[in-house]
Amino acid sequence: MLRDITLGQYYPSGSVIHRLDPRVKLAGTLIYLITLFAFRSVEAYVVATAFLAAMICISKVPLKFMMRGLKSILFLLVFTSIFNLFLVPGETVVRIWKLKITDAGIETAAFMAIRLVYLIIGSSLMTLTTTPNDLTDGLEKALGPLKKIRVPVHEIALIMSIALRFIPILMEETDKIMKAQMARGADFESGNLIQKAKNMIPLLVPLFISAFRRANDLAMAMEARGYHGGEGRTKMKPLEYRRRDFAAYLILFGYVAAMFGANRLGIVPALF
Amino acid sequence: MEIVKARKLAFEYVKLDEEGRVESRSRAVDDVDLDVQAGDFIAILGHNGSGKSTLAKHINAILVPTEGTLFVDGKDTRDESKLWEIRQTAGMVFQNPDNQIIGTIVDEDVGFGPENMGVPREEIWQRVEESLKAVGMWEYRSHSPNKLSGGQKQRVAIAGVVAMRPKCIVLDEPTAMLDPNGRREVIRTVRELNRREHVTVILITHYMEEVIQADKVFVMEQGKIVMRGTPREVFSHVEELKSYRLDVPQVTLAAHELQKSGIPLPDGILTIDELVEELRKVREA
C-alpha cells in the first residue's frame, strides 16, 4: 500500500517545456492559476483552455497522465458542484421537491468545476515536466530574496532534496520491516480503521528508529565532507536563464494580455 | 612526512543519567600512539568494540581527544579554526553507503564536497570527472544512487571524498555491508588510489583478506593498539590474533596448522602461491 505513493511523477519526453528553467515553470504555473481565479468570463476561459491545450501539446506528455491527478479531487469536484447548484441564490430554473437549481448556481458550478480541473491539470503539467531536483533548485533560487528577512531558503531546499533522496530508501525499509513483522505474525490488513492504525505501531517504531539513525549518520557524513551551511558555498549546477526561458516569459506575458483582452470583449456577458 | 601523528590519544564516552550526572565512563580509545607516513596504506584491525571506529573519527576531527594530542598534517585537531582544513586534508568514508550519499544524482553527490569548499564551478566539474573516472564510475554519472549496487554506491562515496583532493582517506569499515563482489571492487579501488594518486589510505576493517596489501597493520583491542607491523609480521602470530578474536586469512591458518603438525614452514604465509612454493621446497628437501 505504501508502495503506491509516488512523489514527483516526472514524465521524461525531452520537450521544450522539460528543458525550460524551473523558475519559468513555477512562475508560469502560479500566473496561470491566478488568472484562472481572477477572471470570470466565457471569453477568458476560451483563452485559458487554448493556452493549456497548447502547453499540453508542446509538452508531449500523454493526456492520460494529467487526468490521473483528477481522480483525487473527484469527490471535491462533485461536492462543490452540487452545493453551488442548489445553494446559490438566483432565478429558479428547475425545481426538485424543495430544492431549486438557479441560473446563477449553474454558472458558478460550471466555473468552479472548470477552475478546479484546470488547476489540477496545470500543476500536474509542471510536476510532470520538471524533475523534483529542478523543482527544489528552482524554489531555492526563486525564494532567494526571502533570505533577507531571515527565511532559511537554502536549508529548506536542502531538506527537500534530502527528503526526496531518502523517500525510496525509507520505502524499501518499510517494506522490509513489514515483511519481517508479518513473518512474526503481525497483521496489517484486517480490522477496522482504529484497529488498523494500532497494528501499524510495530511497523512505525522500528521505522522511526532507523530513520533517526540514518539522519545521524548522514549528518556526520555531511560534516565530514565539509558542510557548514549555505555560506561560502558554490553551486555545481547553477540555474541560468537561456534564450528559450525569455521567450517563455514573453509567451506568458502574451497569455496574460490575451486574458485581459478577452475579458474586456464581453461578447457573451454571462451564460444566461 | 607524517600525515597522522597521535600521542597518548585517549577518548572517553561519558554516559549521563537523566539529571545530567555522570553515570559511567568508558574509554573507547586508550593511550594510542600512531604514526602514519604520507603515501602509506595502513590497515587498522579489531573486533567489534575495539575502538577502531572511534579512532577513525578522530582523524577527521568529528571527535576530539579527551586526553593526548592528534596532529593531522601538522594541525592539532583540537584547534577549531583549523577544523575545515583538517576535514579537507583527511576525507572519510563510512560504513553504510546509503547514509552518506547526499545527492539525488551521482555527479551531484560527488560535487557536494567541493561545493562546500567553495571551489569555482568549472573546477568542480573537472574534479567530479576526475574522481568518478578514478573509481570507475564515470559511466554512471547521471544515474540515481538508489539504482546502484552496494559496491558501486561505496565507490561513489569514495569519489565524493576524492573530489575534495584530500591527502589522506580514512575508510571506516567500507565493506562491512557489501557482498564479496562489492567488497573486492571497493578494495581494488582504494588500492589503485593509493598507488596511482599516492593518497594515504587508512583502512579500518575486520576482514583479514583486505589487509594483506597494506604497508602496515595495527591491531586494536579494548581501545589500545596491541600489535603493529607489516601484514607478514602480524599474521605470523596466529595464536595472539586468535586471543583478540580475530581470524587470520585461510591460507595463513592452513600453513599454521601444518606447521603445528610438524611440517617445517616459515611464519606469516599470506598467499596461496607462497604456500605452494614453500610446500614444494619442503618436499624437495
Q: The complex's ipTM?
A: 0.85
Q: What type of residue is B123?
A: E
Domain boundaries, chain A: 2-142+240-265, 152-224
Does a structural domain hold residue B48? yes
d(CA B46, CA B34): 15
Does a structural domain hold residue B240? no
Nearest residue, CB atoms, B116 vs list A168, A226, A237: A226
Give the mutation candidate from B104, B127, B128, B158 for the A interface (greatest A CB count, under 10 A): B104
Does a structural domain hold residue B75? yes
Chain A / chain B CB contacts < 8 angstroms: 89
d(CA A114, CA A271): 14
Q: What is the pLDDT of residue A213?
A: 92
Closest alpha carbon to A91 in A78, A82, A104: A104
- Full residue range of the structural domain in which residue B28 is found: 2-230
Does a structural domain hold residue B285? no
Is it the case that residue A5 has pLDDT exceeding 70?
A: no
Closest CA in chain A for residue B92: A224
CATH number where B142 lies: 3.40.50.300
Does a structural domain hold residue B188? yes
Q: Looking at residues A150-177, what average pLDDT do you find?
A: 87
* Burial class of residue B66, CB neighbours in 10 A (0-12, 13-18, 19+): middle
Q: How many domains does chain B have?
A: 1
With CB atoms and an 8 Å threshold, state whether A218 touches B102. yes
Measured from the Cβ of residue A143, the count of other Cβ atoms closer than 10 Å reads 15
Does a structural domain hold residue B81? yes
With CB atoms and an 8 Å threshold, state whether B84 touches A237. no
Measured from the Cβ of residue B52, the count of other Cβ atoms closer than 10 Å reads 25
From first to last of the 285 residues of chain B, give the pLDDT tens digit.
788 888 888 998 888 888 878 878 888 888 889 889 999 999 999 888 888 889 999 998 888 898 889 999 888 888 888 888 898 899 999 999 889 998 888 988 999 999 998 899 999 999 999 999 988 899 998 888 888 888 999 999 999 999 999 999 999 999 888 888 888 888 988 998 899 888 999 999 888 888 888 899 999 988 889 999 998 888 888 888 888 888 788 888 888 888 888 888 888 788 888 889 888 988 887
Does a structural domain hold residue B241? no
Residues of B with Cβ-Cβ distance to A217 under 8 angstroms: 94, 96, 99-100
Pairs from A59-65 (Cβ < 8 Å, separation ≥ 24): A59/A13, A59/A15, A59/A17, A59/A18, A59/A125, A59/A128, A59/A129, A60/A13, A60/A14, A60/A15, A61/A11, A61/A13, A61/A15, A61/A125, A61/A128, A61/A129, A62/A11, A65/A9, A65/A11, A65/A124, A65/A128
d(CA B102, CA A159): 11
Residue A216 neighbours by CB under 8 Å, 6+ apart: none
Q: Give the global pTM.
A: 0.80
- Which sign, positive or negative, has the C-alpha torsion B76, B81, B83, B85? negative
Interface of B with A (CB under 8 A): 60, 62, 84, 87-88, 91-92, 94, 96, 98-105, 107-108, 111-121, 124-125, 128, 145-146, 160-161, 164
- DSSP letter for A145, please: G
With CB atoms and an 8 Å threshold, state whether A225 touches B116. yes
With CB atoms and an 8 Å threshold, state whether A224 touches B91. yes
